[in-house]
Amino acid sequence: MLRDLTRALAQLGEIAILTVRAFLALVKPPYELGLWVRQMEALGVRSLVVALISMLFTGMVLALQSAYALPELGVKYYVGTLVSKSLTRELAPVLTALIVGGRIGSGMTAELGTMKVTEQIDALRSMAFDPVKKLVAPRLAATLIMLPLLVILGNVVGIIGGLLVTVYQLNVAMGVYLNDVMGELTYGDVLSGLGKTVFFAYFIAIIACYNGLNARGGADGVGRATTNTVVGASISILISDYFLTKLFFIFES
Amino acid sequence: MSSLFEIKELTKSYGERLILDRLSFEIERGECLVILGRSGSGKSVTLRQLNGLERPDSGSVLFDGVDITDLEEKDLYGVRRRVAMLFQSGALFDSMSVLDNIAYPVREHTDLDEHEVVEIVEQKLRLVDLEGVLDRMPADLSGGMRKRVALARSLALDPEVVLFDEPTTGLDPTTSATIARLIKSTQLELGVTCVVVTHDLSLARTTATKLAFLDSGRFRFWGTWSEADASDDTLLQDFLHGREHHDGNE
């Protein structure tokens, strides 16, 4: 028990050190923009479809649920508010982070972990390169940039999903829904969601890279590291979500 | 002239296990030192101290008169550009072609234009008897070819020293002989100091100008091949003749 606790604390310390080194590598020239762009393509562009499909159906189901759960209140005329606020503040950031994070986080850990166990990371070091600069920093930058962009697009697509259900299933005029969205949705809603997303992106990238760089013991070790990333990133996202939400409430009020 | 490497009282443990036990030795410029030893005897750990990939618990490593033991990672870069390493698995970047693998250190560490970079890559590939593989991916190469490409990559920046970690492990005897010849020519024709860690005896016969036998974290033998053959150390003799060793400690 005590040993587990010590190991967990040691890991937190190592993640903190990796964080500092990664951010220093990000801000210090030379900037590896080519590597950033390649990662942004790998992480962001290839996650686009899965992120958008998830948000489209989340928006649709939100509209459906709210109208059916509270039919007597005439809620269907306020579905726009409900869908847009719950999406932007909570569901788009958290679900996108969980879905996309699982995808890109496990990919990052598997890639870096394989490089670790096949000595490619040592090879980088032996050729006088810093693996944090070459491997961690571009992945961190790409996640920090791409995840909020995916959430922004997810917000839009989710609201469109809500619109489809409201118009075609609940038979509410499109104008009513859109007016509702435009009238009620605030910058605060969107920004607080995006603010949280930045933290989620950091958790995904740093946990994934840390687990990858510390993988050992062949394919088995890489598999374990990948699982640890998905579990660690998901738990960090869900726990931090609560505290970040409280924090953003304080800022907004 | 002073030695290129001076290693003093090197000690390293993993947890409770003592791997290197106050190891002291010197490596002369231009020689080919082959470190033999049984699996788990600490050969690779010793090698990885020489370019700072691993650090000792105590003791020191001097390279060209400079103590590199406590250097920060970024201060080791200067050393690592002079001391290249060939890894057991080759450690080619599998997301890059052969050209990009060998060109990688050249592109990143020099200001040469692309034409000159490709010329260097082709020249290094000729050194390891490979041609026409520039666009191939590491996954499409045989084990021996991968090892040769990796050797070409380690020679890319014209290092003074190349560290070879089990260079023939997993290769057939014919391919192993090719690798042994290439190591020999790296030492003789390019004047590169070679340090080879292996348990491949025919590789050691071909390449070693000096032989070391590591056992339980200490050098049990240090000398030339003829001295090794004349040695009456039973453990060394059993190792050199591929015999089982019975000393009650197995």
Q: What are phi and psi of B196, to 5 degrees?
A: -115, 130
**CB contacts < 8 A (A, B):** 47
Chain A interface includes B88 (CB < 8 A): yes
Contact state of A127 with B93 under an 8 Å Cβ cutoff: no
Question: A120: which chain B residues are within 8 Å (Cβ-Cβ)?
Answer: 91-94
Please state the domain count of chain A: 1
Distance from CA of A119 to the nearest CA of B (A): 5
Token pair for residue B113? 């234009």
Whether residue A20 is contained in a domain is answered as: no
Considering only CA atoms, which of A174, A90, A81 is closest in space to residue A73?
A: A81
The answer to whether the Cβ–Cβ distance between B87 and A122 falls below 8 Å is yes
- Helices A187-213/A92-117 angle, 10° precision: 20
Report yes or no on A3 lying in a domain. Answer: no
Q: How sure is the predictor about B194, in pLDDT bands with cuts at 50, 70 and 90?
A: very high
A118 touches chain B (CB under 8 A): yes
* Structure confidence by residue, pLDDT tens digits, B58-70: 999 999 988 999 8
A 97-116 residues with CB < 8 A to B: 115
Hey, are the CB atoms on B108 and A119 less than 8 Å from each other?
Answer: no
Question: In chain A, what is the straight-line distance between the N-terminal and C-terminal CA atoms, in Å?
Answer: 42
Look up residue B43 and give its two tokens.
């050969």
CA–CA distance, A152 with B142 (Å, rounded to integer)? 47
Amino acid letter for position A69: A
Q: Are the C-beta atoms of residues A242 and A200 closer than 8 Å to each other?
A: no
pLDDT, greater one: A131 or B3: A131
Q: Which residues pair with A153 in a beta bridge?
A: none
Q: In what order do the strands lie in the sheet containing B193-198?
A: B83-86, B161-165, B193-198, B32-37, B210-215, B218-223
Alpha helices in B50-172 (DSSP H): 77-82, 98-109, 114-127, 143-154
Tell me: the pLDDT tens digits for B86-133? 999 889 998 899 999 999 999 989 999 999 999 999 998 988 888 888
> B248 pLDDT exceeds 70?
no
| Residues in chain B closer than 8 A to A128 (CB atoms) | 76-78, 80-81, 105, 109
Mean pLDDT, chain B, rounded, equals: 89
**Peptide bond connecting A131 to the previous residue in cis, omega within 30 degrees of 0:** no
Q: B102, B124 in Cβ contact below 8 A?
A: yes
How many angstroms away from the CA of A141 is the closest CA of chain B? 20
Whether residues A119 and B105 touch (CB distance < 8 A) is answered with no
* Residue A7 belongs to a domain: no
**What's the farthest any 2 CA atoms get from each other in chain A?**
70
A17 falls within a domain:
no
Mean pLDDT on B233-243: 87
Sequential pLDDT tens for chain A (253 residues): 788 888 889 989 999 999 999 999 888 888 888 888 888 888 888 889 999 999 999 999 998 888 777 766 677 778 888 889 999 999 999 999 999 989 999 999 999 999 999 999 999 999 999 999 999 999 999 999 999 999 999 999 999 999 999 888 888 888 888 988 888 888 888 999 999 999 999 999 999 999 999 999 888 899 999 999 999 999 999 999 999 998 988 887 7
Nearest to B91 among A118, A128, A129 (CB): A118
The CA distance from A42 to the nearest CA of chain B, in Å, is: 13
Alpha helix (H) residue ranges in A118-217: 120-126, 131, 137-168, 174-184, 187-213
Domain region containing A147:
36-252
Q: For position A248, what pLDDT does the model report?
A: 86
Angle between helices A137-168 and A174-184 (to 10 degrees): 140
Give a yes or no: residue A109 inside a domain.
Answer: yes
Cα angle vertex A118, ends B33, B84, to 5°? 35
- Stretch 38-67 of chain A: residues touching chain B, C-beta under 8 Å: none
CA distance A245 to A93: 11
User: Quick count: other Cβ atoms within 10 Å of Cβ B94?
Assistant: 16
Check residue A173 and give its pLDDT: 85
Burial class (CB in 10 A: 0-12, 13-18, 19+), B233: middle
The β-bridge relationship of strands B161-165 and B193-198 is parallel
Q: Which phi and psi angles does B119 have, rounded to 5°?
A: -60, -45
pTM: 0.88
Q: Residue B76 is encoded by which pair of tokens? A: 């080791």
Residue numbers in A near B78 (CB within 8 A): 128
Query: Phi and psi at residue B32, in whole multiples of 5°?
Result: -120, 100
| Domain-located, residue A15 | no
Distance from CA of B211 to the nearest CA of A (A): 24
Pairwise CB contact (< 8 Å): A122 & B104:
no
Q: What are the tokens at A18?
A: 């990796």
What is the spatial distance between Cα B140 and Cα B246, in angstroms, rounded to a whole number?
Answer: 44
d(CA A89, CA A77): 20
Residues A55, A158: contact at Cβ < 8 Å? yes
Look at residue B250 and tell me whether its pLDDT is greater than 60: no
In angstroms, the CA A138 to CA B32 distance is 40
Q: Is residue A105 part of a domain?
A: yes
What are the b/e assignments for B61-88, b being 16+ CB within 10 Å? Answer: bbbbeeebbebeeeebbebbbbbbbbbb
| Chain A contact present for B108, CB below 8 A | yes
Residue contact A123–B73, C-beta within 8 A: no
Question: Looking at the domain assignment, is residue A21 inside a domain?
Answer: no
Q: Given CB atoms, is A30 within the 8 Å cutoff of chain B?
A: no
d(CA B76, CA B179) in angstroms, rounded, equals 28
